[in-house]
Amino acid sequence: DAKTTQPNSMESNEEEPVHLPCNHSTISGTDYIHWYRQLPSQGPEYVIHGLTSNVNNRMASLAIAEDRKSSTLILHRATLRDAAVYYCILRERRDFGNEKLTFGTGTRLTIIP
Amino acid sequence: DTAVSQTPKYLVTQMGNDKSIKCEQNLGHDTMYWYKQDSKKFLKIMFSYNNKELIINETVPNRFSPKSPDKAHLNLHINSLELGDSAVYFCASSNRDRGSTDTQYFGPGTRLTVL
């Protein structure tokens, strides 16, 4: 399984940008990079995904390195509600109909008021 | 309306019992999943169904049996419950056939405690 490496935890001040890094040096050419987050006592929630180009949506931005071996999730202005565990996941497509998400340990983001 | 719902939210039972957890999605998705999150917070896929057909079956004891009566439901039945089955179980769904990127939508989880 292609794996990702993330820091165990990070802290950020409220209303400041947050950059969450992820290393995925064994990524294959067809793997998408997905980010999910899990708020306390809730199920995981999709945040953003990308393949090669940087991506923006209403929740966050995703910056992907040119060699695709790393990526950074950017929260432009963190709020207390962004405190969660953030998972960087490679979506593997081994064969048709066998895609799965492999969750790592994620980064626990703490927002300081 | 809840997109992916699970019942019950909490389940406390004795070792050796048989129990079921129900999952329903109203998103019109064609693929559903069961994940297990243990006490160390590792989230691991167990099963995946596409159009009522099993497509992913990880190394899960055969005491666990998913049942999909239709595309909108994927229930998890567990026989002879053991202490190690205590965990939070999440159901999820996605729409794969549209050539989408398989974004998964998760339910709120069912916390199973085996005594």
A88 falls in which pLDDT band (50, 70, 90)? Answer: very high
Q: How far is A5 from chain B (nearest CA, A)?
A: 14
Q: Chain A residues with CB inside 8 Å of B4's CB?
A: 43
Whether the pLDDT of residue B52 is over 60: the answer is yes
Of A32, A85, A98, the CB nearest to B55: A98
Which pLDDT score, from 0 to 100, does residue B89 have?
Answer: 97
A9 falls in which pLDDT band (50, 70, 90)? Answer: very high
Whether the pLDDT of residue B103 is over 90: the answer is no
Provide the residue type at A39 as one letter: L
Which pLDDT score, from 0 to 100, does residue A50 have?
Answer: 92
Give the span between the Cα atoms of A24 and A42, in whole angstroms.
26
Residue B43 · residue A85 · CB < 8 Å: no
Of B4, B56, B109, the CB nearest to A100: B56
A32 falls in which pLDDT band (50, 70, 90)? Answer: confident
Q: How many residues does chain B have?
A: 115
Whether the pLDDT of residue A18 is over 70: the answer is yes
The residue among B10 and B69 whose pLDDT is bigger is B10
Whether the pLDDT of residue A11 is over 80: the answer is yes
Residue in B108, B31, B89, B51 with CA at minimum distance from that of residue A99: B31
Put simply, the answer to whether A105 touches B106 (Cβ < 8 Å) is no
Record the tokens describing residue B103, joined without a space: 């974004």
Q: Does A11 touch chain B (CB under 8 A)?
A: no
Which pLDDT score, from 0 to 100, does residue A70 have?
Answer: 96
Q: Chain A residues with CB inside 8 Å of B103's CB?
A: 34, 46, 49
Please return the burial class of A97, using the count of CB atoms within 10 Å of its CB with bins 0-12, 13-18 and 19+: middle
Which pLDDT score, from 0 to 100, does residue B11 have?
Answer: 97
B99 falls in which pLDDT band (50, 70, 90)? Answer: low
The stretch B57-72 carries a mean pLDDT of 88
Please return the burial class of B21, using the count of CB atoms within 10 Å of its CB with bins 0-12, 13-18 and 19+: buried
Chain A residue nearest residue B49, CA to CA: A97
Which pLDDT score, from 0 to 100, does residue A77 have?
Answer: 94
Q: For chain A, what percent of residues have pLDDT higher than 70?
A: 90
Degrees, nearest 5: CA angle B94-B106-B33: 55
For residue A31, give the DSSP letter: P
Label residues A60-94 b or e (16+ Cβ within 10 Å = b).
bbbbbeeebebbbbebeebeeebbbbbbbbbbbee
Q: For chain A, what percent of residues have pLDDT higher than 90?
A: 75
Residue A103 · residue A3 · CB < 8 Å: no
Whether the pLDDT of residue A95 is over 60: the answer is no
Residue B81 · residue B107 · CB < 8 Å: no
Which pLDDT score, from 0 to 100, does residue B73 have?
Answer: 94
Whether the pLDDT of residue A90 is over 80: the answer is yes
Which pLDDT score, from 0 to 100, does residue B8 have?
Answer: 97
| Averaged confidence pLDDT in chain A | 90
The stretch A3-28 carries a mean pLDDT of 94
Which pLDDT score, from 0 to 100, does residue A49 have?
Answer: 92
Q: Does A39 touch chain B (CB under 8 A)?
A: no
Q: Does A108 touch chain B (CB under 8 A)?
A: no
